[in-house]
Amino acid sequence: MDISPLQKARYEYSPKLPGMLRNGIADICVKEGAATQSVADQEKIKALFPNTYGKPEITFEKGANTSEAKKQVVGVILSGGQAPGGHNVISGLYDALKATNSENVLLGFKGGPDGLLKNDYVEFDDKFIDAYRNTGGFDIIGSGRTKLETVEQFQTVAANAKENGLTAIVIIGGDDSNTNAATLAEYMAAAGTGIQVIGCPKTIDGDLKNEDIEASFGFDTATKTYSELIGNIERDANSAKKYWHFVKVMGRSASHVALECALETQPNICLIGEEVATKKMSLAQITNYIADSVEKRAANGNNFGVAIIPEGIVEFVPEFSALIAEINELLAGAKTEEFNALPSWQAKYDFIKAGLTPSAFAVFDLLPVGIQQQLFLERDPHGNVQVSLIESEKLFSELVKNELAKRKAAGTYKGKFSPLHHFFGYEGRCAFPSNFDADYCYSLGYNAFMLISYGYTGYLSKVSNISKPAEEWIAGGMPITKMMNIERRNGADKPVIRKALVELDGKPFKFFEANRETWAVETCFTYPGAIQYYGPSSVCDITTKTLALEKG
């Protein structure tokens, strides 16, 4: 098989481990901290996880290794959406297993949790692993989004694990996947199977983090990939000087990706969903905010600009959320079939007008027809609007265009407005991991084996102090239950890992807030360029602006 020169070179890259792990694990001991509790709903979480709740955080240190020497057969899955670095988590886990005992075995279960349920796996060897080192994607074993939440599923996983002689399972995923890990760990402990479960924190959205998990893997690479593209667009905009580019980026539940890309590229506009929700901003207010920038720049002769829109922005707009809730009720049950059977959009429009409250319909009527129709596309499995299908970048450019037409008619705006649209999502999920993500992910996998060797279960592999050089990184683990709270999901209370939203009093947002008025009017674009893998550490190993500001 032909491979590119960069691919060949990345195979040969040696990821950097935390200093304490670089000489193997023979002289690594455990330091246990205080007992932990969940971030909220402590009594409820404790009742649901009696065998794995309240465990201490742990840190690995230099000292005599007291772990039990035994053959380990570990299963690993990739769960949820792709994120750069997943292959290196598996590589680090494999290398740690084999360095400890050449007879240790790593089984990769295919297609995410389904692989555990169907007992569909491959046994890794050196040749297999070497073909995926430092590469992007999850194609080594594939991924999936099946939830592990029923007793029947747990029993099936336990039976398959016993059949294969598994001593531990490592689940590499985001908040939902690690919630799966926590519930599976609790079942395994309660049933006395002896099978440990360890999680690894993944998501390009950046919303799986807290005081312990400083960053989820993949966020660094994905945001650098998007920022390169946005920087290229900015340079094109500043060259042609005639287009406004509306760029939607991934991040449905939180705006970390949008904020990081804004910090990297200094666009004219960046919407932050958490701010929109806190200030209860309406569609009209957001529209005017963008239109003001367009008007002021036009007055300076600059009929061009760049606006970054987070994927889930509309869900943060209170009036839009209320509209979606009413639409979900309107089309509940058999009414969906009745609606779909109507012969024309006008007939459907009349049906919607009759079924919505006047306030909700007023919001609906503001929307361009194309966006109105997107609200009634295919429903999700629960019968709800699929918000991710809404082209919010086109929504806001159309609303701004209409607002500018009013201003032009009133004589206050004399510029030109020609919008172009982009959506950057999949482009960043499988990129070659940056040196940071390659190192971080390899360390997470290596560290996961350390947790296994010391008998921990229901823990998340944790590598901290990651804004510093890898030599100074600190390896350890934290109970997954520490991150959990109770949320209402599909009509029932569920224990889930709390998503981390953009903190409006945090240093990254405050830096953005302090500069955005200037960026909105002046052309302050910055051009990050492509991810660099070779050269000075100050260029190749640099982390995100978000992490640098948070730990600054």
- For residues 504 and 543, state if they share a domain: yes
- For residues 419 and 447, state if they share a domain: no
228-272 pLDDT tens trace? 999 999 999 999 999 999 999 999 889 999 999 999 999 999 999
- For residues 303 and 418, state if they share a domain: yes
The whole-angstrom separation of Cα 199 and Cα 202 is: 9
Work out the pLDDT band at 533, boundaries 50, 70, 90. Answer: very high
Task: Give the residue from 197, 216, 215, 254 showing the smallest Cα distance to 83.
Answer: 216
Work out the pLDDT band at 84, boundaries 50, 70, 90. Answer: very high
- For residues 186 and 253, state if they share a domain: no
- For residues 90 and 202, state if they share a domain: yes
SS3 497: strand
- For residues 306 and 354, state if they share a domain: no
For 58-93, what is the HEC assignment? EEEEECCCCCCCCCCEEEEEECCCCCCCHHHHHHHH
- For residues 229 and 357, state if they share a domain: no
Contact 160, 121 (CB under 8 A): no
For 193-211, what is the HEC assignment? CCCEEEEEEECCCCCCCCC
Contact 63, 29 (CB under 8 A): yes
Q: Is residue 46 part of a domain?
A: no
Active site residues: 205
Name residue 170's amino acid: V
Give the domain range for residue 321.
314-385
Q: Is residue 47 part of a domain?
A: no
Q: Is residue 170 part of a domain?
A: yes
Mean pLDDT of 95-123: 97
Q: Is residue 88 part of a domain?
A: yes
Residue 3: its H or E element? none
- For residues 125 and 165, state if they share a domain: yes
Q: What is the pLDDT of residue 380?
A: 65
pTM higher than 0.85: yes
- For residues 469 and 511, state if they share a domain: no
Q: Is residue 411 part of a domain?
A: yes
Polymer length in residues for the chain = 552
Q: What is the pLDDT of residue 332?
A: 80
Q: Is residue 54 part of a domain?
A: no
Work out the pLDDT band at 381, boundaries 50, 70, 90. Answer: low
- For residues 96 and 79, state if they share a domain: yes
CATH code for the domain in which residue 518 is found: 3.40.50.460
- For residues 145 and 178, state if they share a domain: yes
- Of 419, 444, 477, which residue is a domain's last? 477
488-522 pLDDT tens trace? 876 788 999 999 999 999 999 999 999 999 999 99
CATH code for the domain in which residue 379 is found: 1.10.10.480
Mean pLDDT of 48-75: 95
Q: Is residue 38 part of a domain?
A: no
Number of domains observed in the structure of the chain: 3
Q: Is residue 204 part of a domain?
A: yes
- For residues 77 and 184, state if they share a domain: yes
Q: What is the pLDDT of residue 1?
A: 63
